[in-house]
A and B are shown apart, each in its own frame.
Chain A
Amino acid sequence: MNPVIRFDKVQYAYGKHTAIRSLSFSLHPGERLALLGPSGCGKTTVLHLALGFLPPSEGNIYIGDALASDQGGIIVPPQQRGIGMVFQDLALWPHLSLLANLTFGLAARGIPKAQREERAMAMLARVSLADKATRFPDALSGGERQRVAIARALVLQPRVVLLDEPMSNLDIDLKRDLMDLCRQLFTENHSAVIYVTHDLREALRLCDRFAVMEAGRLIQLGTLEEFRSDPASGFVNSLLRELD
């Protein structure tokens, strides 16, 4: 099976500072990868490169078989990549109702009004928020907003879903419930997932593969067993110690 997204020796520099160094990895349909690393190691930059918000300074990024970005710039624009994103601050549009937050992307695809409302309502029902479809984001609790953000990312049935530490501000119980919901939804949707976090315990609830970055470099990529048998750095060791 071909990968849904592939980074091939990707490098990215902000001016003189190199944020990402020769990054290569691929993700297959349904695969869930946790991207771990300390603050400022380049995790969010990887997501922005995948989405097409930033062009690589070197290397290529493929979406499916198509070259999506290269050194020359963005070839496939963000809205045509089939990638959904859950932002750290959720980025719910405060002036749109929950239903409108979900139908915005469907409308951009040219889906007729009746169909897009049906799909959005079904997705809201899936995250138990159908009864609040006409409400605005500021009328929701923190956990409900997280569910809307996840629903908005999934309503377009993306090939890949990116999550940028969206649960960092939640308490443990709420986080656990949401992770379980995410796992169910991603499995139903057969979406590949890149989940950015700095907490391995959290990553274990959702992901089956793990990538650790430090200072813009991919230090280790593999399963938990591979990490345990041969930790590549002190940071990986400290992550594993948190599990004990």
Chain B
Amino acid sequence: MGGTLKIPQQWRPWTMVAAAGCLFAGIALAPLLWPFFGLLDTAGPAAASGIEASQWALLLRSLGLSLAVVIGALLLGIPAGLLLARGDIIGRQALWAIQVLPLFLPPFLLALGWFYLFGRRGVLGNDLSANLLFGPVGHIAVLSLIFSPVVVVSISLSLWRLPSSLEMAARTVASTRRVLLGILLPAVGPAIGLGALVVFVLAFSELGVPMFFGVDVYPAVVFSMLGGVDYDPARASMLALPLFPLIVFLALLERRLGKGWVFASQTTPLAECAPLHLGAWRTGLSLLLWLWVLASLLPIAGLLSKALAGGASGQGVQAWLGDSLANSMTGAAVAATIIVVIGTLVGYGVARRIPGARLFEGVGLLAFVAPTALLAVGLIALWNRPLTQWVYAGPGIIILGYVARYGIIGVRSLAMAVSQSPVSLEQAAASSGAGFFRSFFCIVLPLQARVMAASWLLAFVFCLRDLESAVLYYPPGREPLTVRIFTLEANGPEPLIASLALIQVMLTACIWVALFWLFQQSHRRRY
């Protein structure tokens, strides 16, 4: 029986995708389904008491708040997206790059920055501004501003892929305004829908901003039963259940919107064409967009002013920082690496239509659209057992949470990149005698190296900014920087908190520069 296991050539792609996909499903799907099984085990007082009417009302209120954030983000993001992607706005590329930065930062830090500016004791604050900030208005306004780049990015990526002839055909008969509103805007309708959906998901899962502004939201109730004085995981499972139909609906909606329109692709994409002339509107619109971007960066100025206000010595900052920065970096780096490995294998399967791959992609999608409270309940129930304490009590649980929540980033980016690479390149390798694995490792992977690097950075930055999931299950002494800032904020000295926040901002800014450089390399424009 000394023979080695030989996988037939035709099964090799499927085997590879299935192995990665099953690992991914184990990490991402099991925690989502676990609350159901957990409830069957503990069908006692918690299940019997059900969900109170006030909690249903809170769920509805949270959905309403998230919808309001979506509307705010769309109102800002749609005009900005159209103009930045296709208008001859002054400093267009720089603006596009800068506007993304707030999205990469933990929303809670930006809320903190707004508080330092417009809180009662803030640089520009008074009673009115503080009252507005600490309530639904502040919550909706701050999150709308932070998440509007999602809409801008979604519109831009969709517009840049459109064949230029669609726009040219419109320009032969209509003015720039009509081309933008009559042709380009409807053409990116599905992308706008997709952006709105992502904003909704992010807004609904957001924990730091509503808790900081004192706005009651449903995920915060689940959080209080996992990490607070009301500790009751069984009840948290019960509360998480109504979220399940919501995520299935959101995942199906995403699949529908993701299809978009089918465009002819013989002509040059719009990314390579000169922008549309805005004529007399150019200066005014450019000014408005610069104001919008500067406003979104204003909270960083708030953090800076507080940090410079005094009282934050280097030693003090280091002491308060502890191991949290290292925890953040190592956790995010390991998770990003796993995300890219799984994403490359499953994404390849999706692009090449290998059976089962779409199913695994769907798992990643479910885990992403799932409110973090649901994911956290499952992760805790699944891993908080005597046999798996080595995972639960160490950095493993945070890494698993990151991979589950952000795994879709790797799958989607690699699927998109591989699908744009001609299959004939692999067919040529096969006709030259290369087996599947040789073709995959020598042809596919080197071609996608840049996308893999970008995908790693993107996953890294999303793990780094994560507060809402890590805060629910971080092991003692292993908290990442975002959680450290969040937990210290209530009682810590403000200049020190602001300094810690600025460390997070600077770290993110470095990654953002690297990401933008990679993005520019792959979207070089002719003009």
> Taking beta carbons and an 8 Å cutoff, which residues of A are in contact with B?
14, 48, 51, 53, 77-79, 81, 83-85, 87-96, 104-105, 107-109, 138, 152, 156
Contact = CB atoms under 8 A, between A and B. Distances in A.
B187 A79 contact: no
Given A89-B266, A91-B165, A79 B261 contact: no
Given A88-B165, A108-B174, 9 more contacts: A78-B172, A79-B172, A84-B172, A87-B168, A88-B267, A91-B168, A104-B183, A105-B172, A107-B178
A89 B163 contact: yes
B168 A95 contact: no
B264 A79 contact: no
B266 A88 contact: yes
Given A85-B172, A93-B187, A104-B182, A138 B262 contact: yes
17 contacts: A51-B168, A77-B171, A78-B172, A79-B174, A87-B168, A87-B169, A88-B267, A89-B266, A93-B170, A93-B183, A94-B263, A95-B189, A104-B170, A108-B178, A108-B182, A109-B173, A138-B262
Given A87-B165, A88-B267, A95 B172 contact: no
Contacts of B267: 87-89, 91
Contacts of A152: 169
B284 interface: no
Interface string B236-265: 000000000000000000000000011111
Question: By CB atoms of chain B within 10 A, which of A85, A90, A91, A138 has the most?
Answer: A91
B166 interface: yes
Contact of B172 (A51, A92, A93): A51
Nearest to B178: A108
Contact of A83 (B163, B170, B172, B264): B172
Contacts of A83: 172
Interface centre among B262, B264, B526 (most CB of A within 10 A): B264
Contacts of B477: none
Nearest to B166: A91
A83 B526 CA distance: 26
B186 interface: yes
A94 B261 contact: yes
Given A93-B187, A94-B261, A79 B173 contact: yes
What 7 A-B pairs come out closest when comparing CB atoms? A105-B173, A91-B165, A108-B174, A89-B264, A89-B266, A91-B169, A87-B165
B520 interface: no
Given A88-B266, A93-B183, A95-B189, A104 B166 contact: no
B175 A108 contact: yes
A89 B269 CA distance: 12
Contacts of A104: 170, 173-174, 182-183
Contact of A89 (B165, B182, B186, B189): B165
Nearest to B185: A95
Contacts of B165: 87-91
Interface residues of B, number: 25
A84 B137 CA distance: 50
Contacts of B182: 104, 107-108
Interface in B155-202: 163, 165-166, 168-175, 178, 182-183, 186-187, 189
Interface of B: 163, 165-166, 168-175, 178, 182-183, 186-187, 189, 261-267, 526
B166 A93 contact: yes
Nearest to A96: B186
Contacts of B526: 14
Contacts of A138: 262
A63 B147 CA distance: 47
Nearest to B266: A89
Contacts of B171: 51, 53, 77-79
Contacts of A95: 186-187, 189, 261
A78 B169 CA distance: 10
B264 A91 contact: yes
Contacts of B166: 91, 93
Contacts of B187: 93-95
B173 to A, nearest CB: 3
B459 to A, nearest CB: 33
Nearest to A87: B165
A111 to B, nearest CB: 11
A6 to B, nearest CB: 19
Contacts of A92: 264
A14 B186 CA distance: 32
A58 to B, nearest CB: 19
A96 B189 CA distance: 12
Contacts of B175: 77, 79, 108
B78 to A, nearest CB: 16
Contacts of B168: 48, 51, 53, 78, 85, 87, 91
A205 to B, nearest CB: 23
B268 to A, nearest CB: 10
Nearest to B177: A108
A78 B395 CA distance: 61
A95 B264 CA distance: 12
Nearest to A168: B266
A77 B173 CA distance: 10
Nearest to B186: A95
Contacts of B169: 85, 87, 91, 93, 152
A91 B178 contact: no
Contacts of A14: 526
Nearest to A74: B277
A77 B171 CA distance: 9
A81 B173 CA distance: 9
A95 B265 CA distance: 15
Nearest to A73: B277
A152 B261 CA distance: 20
A156 B186 CA distance: 22
B303 to A, nearest CB: 43
Contacts of A91: 163, 165-166, 168-169, 264, 267
A90 B174 contact: no
Nearest to A44: B267
A157 to B, nearest CB: 12
Contacts of B178: 107-108
B209 to A, nearest CB: 35
B275 to A, nearest CB: 13
Contacts of B170: 93, 104
A214 B53 CA distance: 78
A53 B274 CA distance: 9
A215 to B, nearest CB: 20
A86 to B, nearest CB: 9
Contacts of B261: 94-95
A90 B173 contact: no
Contacts of A109: 173
A200 to B, nearest CB: 23
